[in-house]
Structure 1
Amino acid sequence: MRVIFMGTPEFSVPVLDALVEAGHEIAAVYCQPPRPAGRGKKDRPTPVHARALDLVLEVRHPVSLKAPSEQAAFAELEADVAVVVAYGLILPQAILDAPVRGCLNIHASLLPRWRGAAPIHRAIMAGDAQTGICIMQMEAGLDTGPVLMRKAIEIGPEDTTARLHDRLSRTGADLIVQALASLRDLTPEPQPDEGVTYAAKIDKAEAEIDWTAPAVEVDRKIRGLSPFPGAWFSVDGQRIKVLASRLATGLSSRTAPGSDAPGMVLGDSLTVACGEGAVDLLRLQRAGKGAQDRETFLRGFPLAAGTRLMSEGE
């Protein structure tokens, strides 16, 4: 098929590769414009932009698709279908209507649960047992279109957003190739009205760890916000991100000394008391440093039993 590909971040790159490997003709690649990055603040192309250049594909990065001239240029590509995955711009109706078979979106949740910007983060933070990929026929509403194909994936007890991101990206790539191969035979299924939830964009203000919360919630927050923006605590005036954790099984907050047990380090292996239960901190990062496993971290930044980990407001 003649395909317009629309995507921007690393999540989208395996999908572009899969479409090329499947033999589809890529009429053009749309992505977000290059933006300043790094110490020199030079414009850096997005991951999809860079990969498209490697594949010698035409790249377009308009700041908006609302202009009639942009919509006309899109229509002139005469595509059979557009494949959209984490593109980052709202598609006007004229764009949705231009390809012969419309626009298909690869969404990283089991719709109608977690429509919106951050479905992977929100699924982990909510304690969902499953998430998945949906191939959706796009319409004007936010992730409201009928679903053509779906595949569920289990969320493991130590899965982070980074790990789940990679699995879902590969699944999405496989599923869109299957969908395009059988597109004429697929029956769109309208999303039910029940079970709708919205995955709001992650706000950095959410990332502070509240040790008074139950351990299960603290663990979900740490894993759901890893690697970005990274859940954090402070100690000795330093902010420290936690990038991996698990529920502690051998200790509970009741073993911590004093009345301020939540946030107390228990033992010598970075087990931390919470409002209920405790969590093991497995991977951490100090400001200006690289991420480290807990053993390496503790050699350079000891946190002895009885140390209190705090939020900035304390």
Structure 2
Amino acid sequence: MGSREKKLTLKLLINKESGRVVFAECGKDFVEILLSFLTLPLGTVIRLLDKHSSLGCMDALYENVEKLDLKCLQTEACKSMLLCPRSVAERHCKDLKIKVDNLDPKRLYLCLKWDCVARVHKLFSSVADARCPCGSPMDKFALLWKKEASCDGGFCEGERARFLVSDDLHVSLASMASSFSLLQEFGIHDVSLLQEREVSVGRHEILKLLKTCLISRTPLSNVFMGLKLQPFKHKKLVPNPLGKKEEAKTGTKTRSKTMRANILQSKHSGKVKYAEIGEDIVDLLFSFLTFPLGTIVKLLSQDSSLGCMS
């Protein structure tokens, strides 16, 4: 008999006129699940959403890696790293009330040669069959994690703390001031327009929320109230915003490396038909699957176009 699915309860405050969620009142467990979205690598998001993430052409890139002949990769472990990338914050997420990623807990693997494990390299891998510097596969399981006070799991303090989460996923501590602020933001001056509703949240709803918050500014209303998704207007990207900030801080110009590609372009439409590229660009494209959502938001500043992830 299978274990009973864990559920959370949210208390929604709804605008009866618009049918939209003003905010959700919740405990620490739900907030930590939302925060854990930022730690998920793109490859993990695409896998969890069954290649229907709506993240541009990233679903197609993931599917391409799935079908890629192993002869094109350095090792079989490389495919595992791209299709099932591990989050560096995995230990902080291990005690979430509802686990977003359903991978088995992280295991460490090593090469059993004495020089490799103890004297020279002292390396371990979170992916089985990764290549050791000596050339042998790191395929022997080792249980090495030690419990540390700073890594007991979770991101928030206060087991009994209450939070308010707005429709676009802004999080604040529950208080009278924050409640009034959100009501003013929605232009609500008549409390008779408001209605409370409790909803039950399981893993199905969490995955639906993950998908929706990548493409919508109103994920709570979309998921729990059935509000129709509105077309998301993408902002025009500012070239290399992070690089400009770093240059301003240091006062020095950073020289960027360049890679070459031969492009076949349609004269009529101006669209690129295909590009002939080297392995350096292919490696770069594949590496996108390992980027956590939080890293993408940081690199692209407020122009990430990832719904309300910013």
With the shorter chain as reference, the TM-score category is under 0.3
Q: Which has the higher contact order (CA 8 A, sep 6+)?
A: 2
Per residue, is there more strand in 1 or in 2?
Answer: 1
Length-normalised TM-score, structure 2: 0.20
The TM-score with structure 1 as length reference comes to 0.19
